[in-house]
Amino acid sequence: MSDPLLSVRNLSKRFGGVVANDDISFDIAAGELVSIIGPNGAGKSTLFKTVCGVTPPRSKRGPDSGKVFFRGRDTSGFAAHRMCEAGLALVFQETEPLKGMTALENAAIGALVRTGSFHEALRLGGQALERVELGHRADIMVDELTLAERRRLEIGRALATEPVLLLLDEAMAGLTPTEVQSAVALVQRIAGDGVTVILIEHVLQAVMAVSQRIIVLDRGRKIADGTPSDVVADPAVITAYLGSELSNA
Amino acid sequence: MLADIIENAKTLPRAWWIGILAAVGFTLVYAQTGSPYYQSFLMSLAMYVVLCSSWNIISGFAGYISFGHVAFWGLGAYLTAILINNAAMPWPVALIGAGVITAAFAALISHPLLRLSGVYFAIAMLAMAEAVKVVVSYARPITGGGGGIYLRPLIGVDDAFLMMSLLAIVLVAMIALMMKTRFIQSLLAIRNNETASDSLGIPTARTKMFALVTSAFFPAIAGGIYILNTAFIDPKTAFDISITINTILMTVFGGIGTVLGPVLGPIAFMILSEGLWTNFPFVHKALLGVIIILLVLFLPTGIVPAIRKVFTGRKVARGTP
């Protein structure tokens, strides 16, 4: 792989005595669509947040040890807004709409990183909403959107930042099977537009449908990294995470 | 930001422009023809519009409730007097200087204080105001200590009314024109969810610092105008917590996080307070207290959102002009 877009090198993150991420390394090439899976508590969301510079209160920003390189720069310990400026966007596991604003204003907040003008941001936000098929709901207050629409809005708002790398943390959680299908199509469309995507997802139907590659974490460590067919056949993965799923298949 | 302000000026409802022009016209005429009593009353009203509107920037838009806002007003008053007495500055230069130094002070304290949030920030601001009061009280050679600082009277109540009113009008108009700008929209996003805002590329620490600096500059100028007229201030008056409490009360009364709330709040509150004092001199504070409790119970969002709800039939978000 030449010049990875994102390179995580020996990353470790601890919270007190709990090791959330332990010596994790992987590379993501531009244009890839990769999923990160693992049981609850495997350290997936912590990994995303550490890479993105999102810091829990009273916690050190960035990895405790190891490095993160994004677009060739050492971005370990960068604040989240600097990572966003650099072209990395994160969609949180919990929907985080900015309440008291319309869908369009929410998306415009994302676009502010690319323009100093709020009016221009509204225009860019409108385009981002069209990309996630929410253009017709632009003037609706976010409290009035359905869960599926709020999930789309989160993705639209992240797209408004014009990312080259989009991290989606369980963006399909709580959706109906039909909505998941629609979300899968959306993720594929975003990837088709040239945005590199990394998913954390528990919906295996979605993971298998979209992923070119899967990274598996268990108890903070990376235990597998390969194509979907390789990963599901990996005994370590079956033991750690997929065993019950496969036996039911 | 300038392009946004020009665009906002084009789309600002005509009623706003009429209101601004009427306020300027009234101020210019009344400064020449009004009675000193009402000029003094209206100067206090304008001062509270400045305090409420500036407090609203850091507390209403950014969501960082400050209990130390009076410190900026008091510092402005003291610094104006010090710059005139000790540095022999002409009063207009001293006034602006006091605003700039107070804003620089706000920038300095923003780094440690704005790392806190919620009740911790509120308490830290309260402590900051008390600390400033103590320092001013003990720096006798410069501040006159607990006995206060004197100044040669430089402007009459008519000029003080004129300056304070124009300051209030400029501040309110500026905020109205800045609502749809990157700065205030970023503050609204921070108030909603600071972590999400940071991850969306908003430099939250810098934006909050700028909010506190802006929030500190205008009350400092108001404090300066106050002392230019009264020619005396002491620490007890300059850092009186009741000024902060009144500021918060009036803003909540008018509608926190709105542009017109910090204007209508002081107007309603001061007219009510003055009317009760005139008609019920012995029980006016008790009556005012009862009315405040009733308003908080039945009009918790304040006057402006309640009026909007009546006209639009829907809840209106904070931050709507």
Task: Please write the tens of the pLDDT for every residue from B105-159.
Answer: 999 999 999 999 999 999 999 999 999 999 999 999 999 999 999 998 899 999 9
Question: Is residue A163's pLDDT more than 60?
Answer: yes
Does the distance separating the beta carbons of A89 and B185 come in below 8 Å? Answer: no
Residue B148, domain member (yes or no)? yes
Burial-class residue A238 by CB neighbours within 10 Å (0-12, 13-18, 19+).
Answer: middle
Question: SS3 of B255, please?
Answer: coil
Confidence label for B48 from pLDDT (cuts 50, 70 and 90): very high
For A125-134, how does the pLDDT look when each residue is reduced to its tens digit (9 = 90+)?
999 999 999 9
User: Nearest CA to CA, how far is B29 from chain A (Å)?
Assistant: 38
The radius of gyration of chain B from alpha carbons, rounded to an integer in Å, stands at: 19
- Count how many residues are written for chain A: 249
Residue B301, domain member (yes or no)? no
Copy the structure tokens of residue B200: 């969306």
Question: Is residue B226's pLDDT more than 70?
Answer: yes
Q: What is the pLDDT of residue A128?
A: 97
CA distance A31 to A182: 21
Average pLDDT, chain A: 90
Residue B271, domain member (yes or no)? no
Q: Which residues of B touch A110 (CB under 8 A)?
A: 200-201
CA distance B14 to B296: 32
Confidence label for B314 from pLDDT (cuts 50, 70 and 90): low
Does the distance separating the beta carbons of B182 and A117 come in below 8 Å? Answer: yes
Distances (CA, A) of B108 to B8, B57, B67, B112: 32, 18, 18, 8
Residue B59, domain member (yes or no)? yes
CA distance B34 to B27: 10
CA distance B228 to B249: 27
CA distance A106 to B132: 39
A54 touches chain B (CB under 8 A): yes
Question: Is residue A160's pLDDT more than 80?
Answer: yes
Question: Is residue A60's pLDDT more than 90?
Answer: no
Question: Is residue B315's pLDDT more than 80?
Answer: no
Residue A201, C-beta contacts closer than 8 angstroms, at least 6 positions apart = A35, A37, A168, A170, A171, A172, A207
Number of domains in chain B: 1
Q: Which residues of B touch A92 (CB under 8 A)?
A: 196, 199
Does the distance separating the beta carbons of A52 and B185 come in below 8 Å? Answer: no
Question: Is residue A58's pLDDT more than 80?
Answer: no
Does the distance separating the beta carbons of A100 and B200 come in below 8 Å? Answer: no
Give the one of B3, B182, B317 whose C-beta lies nearest to A112's C-beta: B182
Identify the closest residue of chain A to B207 by CA–CA distance: A81
Question: Is residue B55's pLDDT more than 80?
Answer: yes
Of B312 and B98, which is predicted with more confidence? B98
Q: What is the pLDDT of residue A240?
A: 77
For B15-29, how does the pLDDT look when each residue is reduced to its tens digit (9 = 90+)?
999 999 999 999 999
Of A201 and B139, which is predicted with more confidence? B139
* The one-letter amino acid at B77: A
Residue B293, domain member (yes or no)? no
Question: Is residue B316's pLDDT more than 60?
Answer: no
Residue B161, domain member (yes or no)? yes
Question: Is residue A201's pLDDT more than 90?
Answer: no
Fill in the DSSP letter of residue A249: -
A169 touches chain B (CB under 8 A): no
Question: Is residue A62's pLDDT more than 70?
Answer: yes
CB A81 within 8 A of CB A75: no
A86 touches chain B (CB under 8 A): no
Q: Compute the average pLDDT of residues A18-43.
A: 94
User: What range does the domain containing B55 cover?
Assistant: 2-241
For B147-193, how does the pLDDT look when each residue is reduced to its tens digit (9 = 90+)?
999 998 899 999 999 999 999 999 999 999 999 999 999 999 999 99
Question: Is residue A243's pLDDT more than 60?
Answer: no
Residue B99, domain member (yes or no)? yes
Average pLDDT, chain B: 94
Question: Is residue B312's pLDDT more than 90?
Answer: no
Q: What is the pLDDT of residue B267?
A: 96
**In chain A, how long is the greatest CA-to-CA distance?**
55
DSSP A122-137: HHHHHHHHHHTT-GGG
For B228-286, how does the pLDDT look when each residue is reduced to its tens digit (9 = 90+)?
999 999 999 999 999 999 999 999 999 999 999 999 999 999 999 999 999 999 999 89
CB B68 within 8 A of CB B126: yes
Q: Mean pLDDT lowest for which of A202-211, B46-55, B279-288?
A: A202-211
Confidence label for B220 from pLDDT (cuts 50, 70 and 90): very high
B87 — alpha (psi -120 to 50), left (phi > 0) or beta? alpha
Residue B286, domain member (yes or no)? no
User: Nearest CA to CA, how far is B63 from chain A (Å)?
Assistant: 13
Q: Which residues of A touch B116 (CB under 8 A)?
A: none
Confidence label for A247 from pLDDT (cuts 50, 70 and 90): very low
